Amino acid sequence: MNSRMLRAWVVDDEALAVKRLCRMLEETGRVTIAGSGTDPADALEALRAAPPDVLFLDIEMPVMNGFELLAQLDAQPVVVFTTAYDRYALRAFEVNSIDYLLKPVEAPHLDRALDKIERLRGAPAPEWHSLVAQLASAMRQPPAEYAARLTSRLGDRMQLLDVPRITHFYAQDKLTYAVMDGKSYVVDHTVSELEQKLDPRQFVRIHRSTLVNIAWVKEIDAWFGGKLLVRLKDGKNTELQVARERVAELKSRLGV
């Protein structure tokens, strides 16, 4: 295996995400940062001028998404996509990326990606421009239809729940509840199923058993062990615990 350090470029529209990933890459001792940036257009020029060994690339960015950036490169670098959304994983592999990393990026997953890059270094890349151009276009299509209403059944009675009015969902005793207007309603979906069914721009998972509507978040407070408490503007100041591994994603979604 070639022991030469990998030259990496990092592109993400979130400055904090770029800074964090660059730091993590440098701490591995296996990578040198050839460049980084939050503007895909600027990054495109630099990548054309001096292609890196590996490109760590965010998928969902304004103005130019990750697939659109790749479609404009003459030569394909090895790509590791970084994304907060699991639904992009299959698309990422289809364009011959070496791997993908879900945000917040964790050190063991980063090491795994670097291991794969080193094993496959020098292998020829297949033709990819046509497919990546199609994916770039698909990213600009109207968003998928997400549920606007959910139902809650109690015997023969069926209650219709308007999704924007739901402050959060939680799982307890093998049941899942939607909280609306301060009341809890049983729904026939797991939290994981709801995560796929609801608009990810509106709902974020903050715990394995909790999904919160970010429009209802009033404030967040630091808690012990690197965790957070979310306080809702629901009239009750409901407090929800945020798991440590989900803190970074929540902060990113709230823009803090």
Mean pLDDT of 213-219: 92
The C-alpha atoms of residue 117 and residue 122 are separated, in whole angstroms, by: 9
> Cα separation of 207 and 122, whole Å?
41
Helix/strand number for the chain, H first, E second? 8, 15
Q: Would the pLDDT of 61 be above 80?
A: yes
What are the pLDDT digits (tens) for 185-212?
Answer: 999 999 999 988 898 888 999 999 999 9
Q: What is the pTM of this model?
A: 0.53
- CA 32/CA 17 separation, integer angstroms: 17
Do 87 and 173 fall into the same domain? no
126 shares its domain with 186: no
Same domain, 72 and 182: no
Tell me if 48 sits within 8 A of 73, measured CB to CB. yes
**How many angstroms separate the CA atoms of 16 and 142, rounded?**
29
Distance from first CA to last CA of the chain, Å, rounded? 42
Report whether 203 contacts 212 (CB < 8 A): yes
Is 144 part of any domain? no
User: 169, 176 in Cβ contact below 8 A?
Assistant: yes
Partners of 134 in the beta sheet? Answer: none
User: What six digits make up the tokens of 59?
Assistant: 């998928």
Are 19 and 94 contained in the same domain?
yes
Q: Are residues 171 and 110 in the same domain?
A: no
How many independent structural domains does the chain possess?
2
Same domain (yes/no): 128, 17: yes
Does residue 142 have a cis peptide bond before it, meaning omega lies within 30 degrees of 0? no
Q: Determine the Cα–Cα distance for residues 95 and 79; give it in Å rounded to an integer.
A: 9
Q: Model confidence at 129, in pLDDT bands (50, 70, 90)?
A: low
Length of the chain: 256
Contact status, residue 107 vs residue 79, Cβ threshold 8 Å: no
Element (H, E) at 133: helix 129-139
Task: Kindly indicate the confidence band of residue 161, based on its pLDDT and cuts at 50, 70 and 90.
Answer: very high
Token digits of residue 45? 């020029």
Mean pLDDT of 142-151: 78
Q: Which of 110, 139, 168 is the last residue of a domain?
A: 139
What does the pLDDT average to over 22-44?
95
Residue 59 lies in a domain: yes
CA distance 5 to 34: 11
Grade residue 84 by pLDDT with cuts at 50, 70 and 90.
confident
- Domain with residue 205: its CATH number is 2.40.50.1020
Range of the domain at 39: 6-139
Cα separation, 93 vs 205, in Å, equals: 24
Average predicted confidence (pLDDT) for the chain: 85
Report residue 91's pLDDT band, with 50, 70 and 90 as the boundaries.
low
CB atoms within 10 A of CB 135: 21
DSSP 52: -
pLDDT higher for 115 or 155? 115
- 100 phi-psi bin (left φ>0, alpha ψ -120 to 50, beta other): beta
Residue 2: predicted pLDDT: 45
